[in-house]
Structure 1
């Protein structure tokens, strides 16, 4: 499906999701209108029937009164008036009986009325009383029939209202669910290109050689973003290759002249070419310290370049005691010169880690502690398990690191303000290498506060990757 733009896709999705809600609104409005009409008609019917039966009862009373008066007075005008009232009663009876399902009460009333019309001159008072009693009973039964009809229609109306409510509830649930499904479908149409862009960004972050292909359909803005991300990936690969080549060639090319400079300084220091005065010796010491610092920078650059070229860690079961012993052996001379006591507390016999990356972490942390820790003060190295993490703490005594500088020290070429014990100006790559090695093994490196030392570097690796 091809859409001109993300705006069109969003608007169309919004409109499609509104269709079920519009149908629901129309259905609700239709149901309410129908119910209002039914309620109005039923109310009108009830009022009319109540009026009709009320009028019939009043006329029936007048008919009974006139019949009794005629029975006593025998006046012709009373007979004519009685016949007129009976005719009105029959008209009302016809209107009422037209709506009744059961015609028996109507027939009973009509029979009594016809009897009175055919027998106007009733001499027997007992027969008259009996016929009038039957007449009243027939009118009462008719009234009851009308009341039953009204009650039945009210029940039917209530059942209809309940059925409409139930239908409305079901239709609301179905249409709301359908609208929700349309919203989910529309959101997938919008989010799927975004998810693909996220995958492309993730592949770029992993420095993958092959990226997901550019979409053939979808919003044009997101397709343009995919084109730009592919271009960016190509550009980053070019820059990455250039950076690796520059670091590799520059580092190796600097080794040769540096070795010649160091050899020359060594010959001058040993007075092979002749004796030196005090000023010359001072200049020579500066040259020696500068060559040592330059050599350290080149080694760290080579180490950093080698770390950057490593695609992913290679996990091996590593003997932690053997690894720590090897690191302390390599740093034994610096430990002896600074008169540091190294306290080791290893509570993990072995770990599944990349031994080369973990060795770099240990080397740089120990070197950092020796370079910045107080001379003659102990250095504490601890390795233990905490929850689902392997934790390495390397702590030393000395000047505390301010909170605002702690995070930046793990960035490349960032150095602290503290002066090193070996008087060499560092490159700012040591802690950056530690952080990168920990990150490659899905861990973290940071500076924490402990109660037994002034500075503590902590490296935490997840147990899922470091299960022994």
Structure 2
């Protein structure tokens, strides 16, 4: 048998590959979240650093402004020219702090305040530097008050900037990163679930197909070839099942040929034996004693029973081998009446009451196949019915389905035997008393014919005693021809 192309690795390999591919999006999401958290941490550290620098610079500016004011006061109060160097150092410190503030990432408004404060301090320092030591501090008090106010306003502005821009910006950044992380996590989870679903489908599809093929083999459906695509080991298992199907098909053909040949080989000598027994029974060869007559009757009954079983084998072989259908329009009521007429003597001998409720149905199907199926079901019902019981047959149309039921009042069928009921040669344990056992082919023949008609034959549960078989056939919606 040629090997099928192998497109996929083995089942364990495909399972490992699927696991890795499912984990990769989650791993990518973790890496993305880690990067986002790191960015958030960097943004937090930057904001804290800038806030610390601004706070420190604001404090240093206040100290430098205080030092400048103190140096100017001492310079004018003590009238000591040597104190002018302290004034210069205070001015230089104030300028350095302003230069540092200018280098920070300010808003335009704050940057302009720093520039204005620098110009204001520069003008005041020029006035102080050019003033004689004998001058009065009160002359510059108003300017120092303005410088104090400007410094205080700048300090308040820096505090507002830290609160409104840095802290709020850090919170906004954290919210954006949090939202991005949520979307990233949701996307990665959905992608992982999608990949998991794809690989679950890839893994389960050949398994389901194997299961369906095994079920078909168990139901004796040997016609459909088995072709499994998927992991290498499952493809190999499918090839082995295909080999098994071909082997079973070959054995089935041999079995049918054997039954056919044996049945025909037995039928000819059996016919001769029946004729000989009939001659003895009719006393053609001479009168018989009572004991001899009893022996002849036993031989005659056994011969008829054997002929019946051989005919069942032949009908079963014909039911399986006959593939073509001969559908035609016919009415159901005449067919049922025709079948009933074949069992009139048996119905009378067992005192069975025939009950039927048949809707006027005209259907298109193979009449001979349906006739054989119904005949086997009715024969089975008569055989199991108690003397004086009721045998019922009903027919009704349910939408596009025609349902025909056959019911009896016999011992019924054990629930544990329902799965084996339609198997060839199967005989239930609840056999009627005083009758010969059947061949076990009647229900198998009926089921085969009904399935070839496109319908189903099943055993229906019933609250009443006995067995209830139901035939379901597709009801052709075509208009039957007139005439």
TM-score range normalised by the length of the shorter chain: 0.7 to 0.9
Kept in 1: contact 2:206–2:228 (CA 8 A) = no
- Equivalent positions of 1:249-328 (< 5 A) are 249-311=261-323, 315-328=327-340
Moved more, 30-39 or 306-315: 306-315
- Equivalent positions of 1:224-239 (< 5 A) are 224-239=236-251
Report the CA distance between 1:427 and its aligned residue.
1.2
Q: Specify the alignment match of 1:448 in structure 2.
A: 461
Report the CA distance between 1:311 and its aligned residue.
3.4
Kept in 2: contact 1:315–1:352 (CA 8 A) = yes
Q: Quick one: distance in 2 between partners of 1:231 and 1:458?
A: 36
Report the CA distance between 1:371 and its aligned residue.
1.3
Q: Specify the alignment match of 1:347 in structure 2.
A: 359
Q: Quick one: distance in 2 between partners of 1:402 and 1:234?
A: 34
Kept in 2: contact 1:335–1:370 (CA 8 A) = yes
Report the CA distance between 1:110 and its aligned residue.
2.1
Q: Specify the alignment match of 1:132 in structure 2.
A: 144
Report the CA distance between 1:65 and its aligned residue.
6.2
Match of 2:404, SS? Answer: strand
Q: Specify the alignment match of 2:3 in structure 1.
A: none
Kept in 2: contact 1:200–1:212 (CA 8 A) = yes
Q: Quick one: distance in 2 between partners of 1:231 and 1:327?
A: 43
Structure 1: gaps spanning 5 or more residues: none
Report the CA distance between 1:289 and its aligned residue.
1.3
Kept in 1: contact 2:393–2:404 (CA 8 A) = yes
Report the CA distance between 1:45 and its aligned residue.
1.6
2:106 equivalent to 1:95: no
Moved more, 182-191 or 433-442: 182-191
Relative to structure 1, the CA distance from residue 435 to residue 61 in structure 2 (aligned partners, 3 Å threshold; closer, same or farther) is farther
Q: Quick one: distance in 1 between partners of 2:463 and 2:397?
A: 17
Relative to structure 1, the CA distance from residue 30 to residue 195 in structure 2 (aligned partners, 3 Å threshold; closer, same or farther) is same
2:336 equivalent to 1:336: no
Q: Quick one: distance in 2 between partners of 1:156 and 1:34?
A: 13
Moved more, 87-96 or 167-176: 167-176
Q: Quick one: distance in 2 between partners of 1:351 and 1:458?
A: 20
Match of 1:385, SS? Answer: strand
Report the CA distance between 1:261 and its aligned residue.
1.1
Kept in 2: contact 1:343–1:380 (CA 8 A) = yes
2:254 equivalent to 1:242: yes
2:50 equivalent to 1:45: yes
Report the CA distance between 1:411 and its aligned residue.
2.7
2:40 equivalent to 1:27: no
| Count of matched residue pairs | 462
Q: Quick one: distance in 1 between partners of 2:137 and 2:390?
A: 138
Relative to structure 1, the CA distance from residue 344 to residue 177 in structure 2 (aligned partners, 3 Å threshold; closer, same or farther) is same
Q: Quick one: distance in 1 between partners of 2:473 and 2:159?
A: 83
Kept in 2: contact 1:450–1:456 (CA 8 A) = no
Q: Specify the alignment match of 2:62 in structure 1.
A: 57
CA RMSD after TM alignment? 3.7
Deviations 1:290-344 (A, max 9, x none): 1111111111111111112133765544411121111111112211222222111
- Equivalent positions of 1:75-94 (< 5 A) are 84-94=89-99
Match of 2:333, SS? Answer: helix
Deviations 1:180-239 (A, max 9, x none): 665566567656766876797799765438x47798xx7442343243233223312221
- Equivalent positions of 1:126-275 (< 5 A) are 128-147=140-159, 149-150=161-162, 151-158=164-171, 160-161=173-174, 164=177, 168=181, 206-208=221-223, 211=225, 219-275=231-287
Q: Quick one: distance in 1 between partners of 2:279 and 2:358?
A: 45
Q: Quick one: distance in 2 between partners of 1:314 and 1:89?
A: 115
2:443 equivalent to 1:428: no
Relative to structure 1, the CA distance from residue 385 to residue 3 in structure 2 (aligned partners, 3 Å threshold; closer, same or farther) is closer
Moved more, 435-444 or 425-434: 435-444
Kept in 2: contact 1:56–1:92 (CA 8 A) = yes
Kept in 1: contact 2:57–2:101 (CA 8 A) = yes
Match of 2:467, SS? Answer: strand
2:119 equivalent to 1:111: yes
2:17 pairs, out of 3, 9, 12, with 12
Q: Quick one: distance in 1 between partners of 2:476 and 2:249?
A: 28
Relative to structure 1, the CA distance from residue 74 to residue 448 in structure 2 (aligned partners, 3 Å threshold; closer, same or farther) is same
Match of 1:368, SS? Answer: helix
Kept in 1: contact 2:77–2:136 (CA 8 A) = no
Calculate the TM-score normalised by the size of structure 1.
0.83
